[in-house]
Amino acid sequence: MRPNRLFRTSVFRLTVLFALLFVGCVFLLFGTIELYASRTLEAGVQATVSARLAGLIGAEPVTTPHLLGAADAAEQQGQGAYILLEDWTGTRLAGNLPAVPPVTGWLRLTVTNNGARIPVIARGVRLLDGGYLLVGQDASRIDEVRAVIARAFALGGAVTLVFAIAAGFLFSRRILRRLAAVGRASQEIMQGDLSRRLPARGTGDEFDQLLDGFNALLDRISVLMESVRQVSNDIAHDLRTPLARLLQRLEDVRRRLRSPVEYEEALDRSISDAYSILDTFAALLRIAQIESATGRDRFEEMDTAELVTIVAELYGPLAEERAQTMTTEATSARLLGDRELLIQMLGNLVENACRHSPPGAHIRIGSAARDGGRLFWVQDTGPGIPEAEREKVFRRFYRLEASRTTQGSGIGLSLAATIAARHGGRITLLHASPGLRAEVWLPAD
Amino acid sequence: MRILVIEDDPETLNYVSDRLSEIGHDVTRAASGREGLFLAGGGSFDLLVVDRMLPAMDGIGIVATLRAARVETPVLFLTTLGEVGHRVAGLTAGADDYLAKPFAFAELAARVEALGRRSRSLTDTMALRVGDLELDRGARSVRRAGQPIELLTREFQVLEFLMHHAGQVVTRTMLLESVWDLHFDPRTNVVDNYVVRLRAKIDEGRSTELIHTVRGVGFMIRAPE
């Protein structure tokens, strides 16, 4: 990584921010401790000075001559004690401090002693006769302690800084690595790999939750894309054939002059062809609409037995036409769903049963509560569907070889499966010996 | 009947208008939503046939505006491959009927007739009468020439709808929609079956037949002339 790219990365910025924050904290701590320590030490020195001053002048008013002896004695005391006595003219009379202008109150001086500069904290008082007494104490301890504190903090701060940088780097890299992985994955998805998903770690943290949300979004998008793709494929493959047939017929009629009856017949057949093409088209669109629909605002409560009854009522005539019998065996149970879609779903199954069973066949439609949901079945005594074909019949326009000649577009089962899926259920085809049994299981709500 | 057709596709506009004129209606054409709304606002029409999808101002907008202005002219929506959700939206907006393109003209004509009659006057009477056939909605009873006729619930509903539209053609889809509340074609003879049963109970053995089949379109009940 080149340096200027490094500076632009979030890792770098976060690390610097982290380090600055740590160092700032260390400085704040250092400042507080330093301030308190030097204040406390200074107060101690001042107490010593005050005590010594009190020892010299006592409670009574004193004059310069009184103090000459005492000052000498105090000077001899050592232990960093300093004293200065001046008369009213400012002439130095005694003591181990250089002459200073007579300033009363606390003051700080620097004394040179054997080449070493010693800080002194002192207090000056005016005497009754105009003399001046200054008592001081060596304060170099304070500076020593402060230097120790500063050294300790410099070292501690340096270590902290190193840790802060390391922690900041690791911490930000961890987060940013995951972000980068997400970024890479989304790049790949955008480039067309719609099956790719964002890498969740499975820990269930906020980050994972976010990714799960995005993944769910992607799932939905690919379902929709697949649906669109499927519809365009279906249209391309399966609407072309009947359209081509229609065109052929029209062109054929046009080739030579025909009788009005022939024209009429050709027109009638063409119109009916056009309608059946439109029916197929509508069914395809309907599947696409159902597949892409979400939400349950069209769901209502209904009774399974009523549903079975109405389907039997609607499709009874079809069985009758084909000399087949139809019976219902429905138990009443509550169900939440789209009434019209469910009627259409069961209707398609019944229609299949009727169309693919021979005259005289018996068709049973029923419902029952099962596995916490509702089970519907449509059973016939027809030829059934070979095991190997059972999955394929749900494909759009798929038709068994044996049923090529029977009426139908090959879209009914596919629509039924779509409707079942829309309700969170599924269709299973079973062998009924003899015949086929189509079972639809739907969750109750 | 004075009908205003609002449709932006010139071919559909001409087809619908010409055919409606042919069967004796007085048709006015509007090629855009704005023009249509302007004309419909006058309120001198018996029926509006409105394309659901129009550029600039769509069918729902037109109906909502008209209804807000208290123009109660019945509206029939035309729509491309009708999705159920759209139908609901259209009916909620104040349309009276809904027909998905492509449609057989006979279907449109029957619905136009049914809506037009409704707009003229249809007091919801409890008793319907066609010739010597009487239907009492309250008692759910049917009599012909004074003799009671036993009908199953569904048969009664079909007869009620037919008698409600006496003298008009009623299509299979109209019956499926209003009696069965279904908006898809089950592709079975269920409607014909009920009509056949009704005919057996009402017309069989009588000198005059009331229930007639209109070939390729639907059914009609009417009093003998």
Q: Rounded to a whole number, what is the distance in angstroms from the first to the last CA of chain A?
A: 57
- Chain B residue at shortest CA distance from A315: B188
A174 belongs to a structural domain: no
The answer to whether B190 faces chain A, any CB pair under 8 Å, is yes
Residue finishing a domain among A112, A147, A182: A147
Is position A195 within any domain?
A: no
For residue A340, give how far its alpha carbon lies from the nearest alpha carbon of chain B (Å).
Answer: 6
**8 Å CB contact of B190 and A343:** no
Locate CATH 1.10.10.10 in chain B. Answer: 127-221
| pLDDT score recorded for residue B119 | 46
pLDDT for A98-147, tens place per residue?
A: 888 888 889 888 888 777 888 889 998 888 888 888 888 888 888 888 89
Average pLDDT over residues B25-39: 92
**Pairing of β B47-51 and β B2-6:** parallel
Query: What is the domain extent for residue A341?
Result: 300-443
Q: Where in chain B is the domain with CATH 3.40.50.2300?
A: 2-120
Domain presence at residue A376: yes
pLDDT at A320 over 60: yes
Residues A278 and A404 grouped into a single domain = no
Minimum mean pLDDT range among A42-46, A66-70, A135-139, A251-255:
A66-70
Task: Indicate if A338 and A437 belong to the same structural domain.
Answer: yes
Q: Is A78 left (phi over 0), alpha (psi -120 to 50) or beta?
A: left
**Test mutation, B155, B184, B188, chain A, max A CBs within 10 A:** B188
Q: Report the C-alpha gap between B48 and B36 in whole angstroms.
A: 9
- Sorted by sequence, the CB contacts under 8 Å of residue B178 that are 6+ apart come out as B161
Contact criterion met (CB below 8 Å) for B101 and B45: no
pLDDT bucket at A323, cuts 50 / 70 / 90: very high
CB-nearest to A340 from B102, B154, B184 is: B184
- Does A365 fall in a domain? yes
Residues A325 and A402 grouped into a single domain: yes
- Residue at A177 is within a domain: no
Q: Is the pLDDT of residue A5 over 60?
A: no
- The position carrying tokens 């907006």 is B93
> Which of these three, A97, A121, A147, is where a domain ends?
A147
Structural domain contains residue A46: yes
Assigned token pair, A168: 């900041």
Residue A131 has a CB neighbour count (10 Å cut-off) of 24
Nearest to B81 among A285, A313, A347 (CB): A285
pLDDT at A404: 45
Instruction: Answer yes or no: is A154 within a domain.
Output: no
Under 8 Å between Cβ of A97 and A134: yes
Tell me whether B103 touches chain A (CB under 8 Å): no
Indicate if A287 and A313 belong to the same structural domain. Answer: no
CATH topology of domain B2-120: Rossmann fold (3.40.50)
d(CA A343, CA A335): 13
Chain B residue numbers touching A343 (CB-CB < 8 A): 182
Q: Looking at CA atoms only, how far is residue A319 from chain B in angstroms?
A: 10
On whether both A100 and A126 belong to a single domain, the answer is yes
DSSP notation for B52-74: S--SSS-HHHHHHHHHHTT----
Residues A307 and A231 in one domain: no
For residues A410 and A409, which has the higher predicted lDDT (pLDDT)? A410
Report, in angstroms and rounded to the nearest whole number, the Rg of chain A calculated over CA atoms. 51
Helix count and strand count (H, E) for chain A:
10, 12
The domain spanning residue A371 has which CATH number? 3.30.565.10
Percentage above 70 pLDDT, chain B = 93
- Residues A253 and A240: their CA atoms lie apart, in Å, by 20
From the list B84, B102, B186, the residue facing A314 with the nearest CB is B186
What would the mean pLDDT of A263-290 be, rounded to a whole number? 83
Asked whether the beta carbons of B111 and B76 are under 8 A apart, the reply is: yes
| Residue A197 pLDDT greater than 90, yes or no | no
**Count of all residues that appear for chain A in the document:** 445
The residue ranking higher by pLDDT, A282 or B96, is: B96
> What ipTM was predicted for this assembly?
0.83
Give how far the C-alpha of residue B145 lies from the chain's centroid of Cα atoms, to the nearest Å: 28
Average per-residue pLDDT for chain A: 83
Angstrom distance (rounded) from CA B45 to CA A80: 119
A288, A231 in Cβ contact below 8 A?
Answer: yes
Lowest-confidence segment of A175-179, A201-205, A231-235 by average pLDDT: A231-235
Q: Using pLDDT thresholds of 50, 70 and 90, give the confidence band for residue B120.
A: very low
Whether pLDDT at B121 is above 60:
no
With a cut of 70, say whether residue A409 has pLDDT above it: no
- Going by pLDDT thresholds of 50, 70 and 90, the confidence category of residue B198 is very high
Contacts of A354 in chain B (CB under 8 A): none
Q: What is the DSSP string of A232-288?
A: HHHIIIIIHHHHHHHHHHHHHHHTS---HHHHHHHHHHHHHHHHHHHHHHHHHHHHH
Indicate the CATH number for domain B127-221. Answer: 1.10.10.10
Question: Is A255 within a domain?
Answer: yes
CB contact under 8 A, A285 and B192: no
Confidence of residue A305 (pLDDT cuts 50, 70, 90): very high
Same domain, A318 and A417: yes
Pairwise CB contact (< 8 Å): A340 & B154:
no
For A44-63, write each residue's pLDDT tens digit.
999 988 888 888 887 666 77
| Closest chain B residue to A354, measured at CA | B188
Note whether A26 and A160 are within 8 A (CB).
yes
Whether A19 and A141 share a structural domain: yes
Tokens of A287: 């599947």
Confidence of residue A205 (pLDDT cuts 50, 70, 90): confident
Half-sphere exposure of A40 (CA within 13 A, CB side): 8
Interface contact B182, partner A, CB < 8 A: yes
Range ranked top by mean pLDDT from A32-41, A112-121, A180-189, A295-304: A32-41
Number of domains in chain A: 3
Nearest to B7 by CA among B36, B27, B46: B36
Residues A8 and A132 in one domain: yes
Grade residue A1 by pLDDT with cuts at 50, 70 and 90: very low
Q: How far apart are CA A45 and CA A20, in angstroms?
A: 37
If pLDDT is split at 50, 70 and 90, which confidence band does B118 have? Answer: low
Domain boundary among A147, A177, A193: A147
Distance CA A7, CA A356 (A): 73
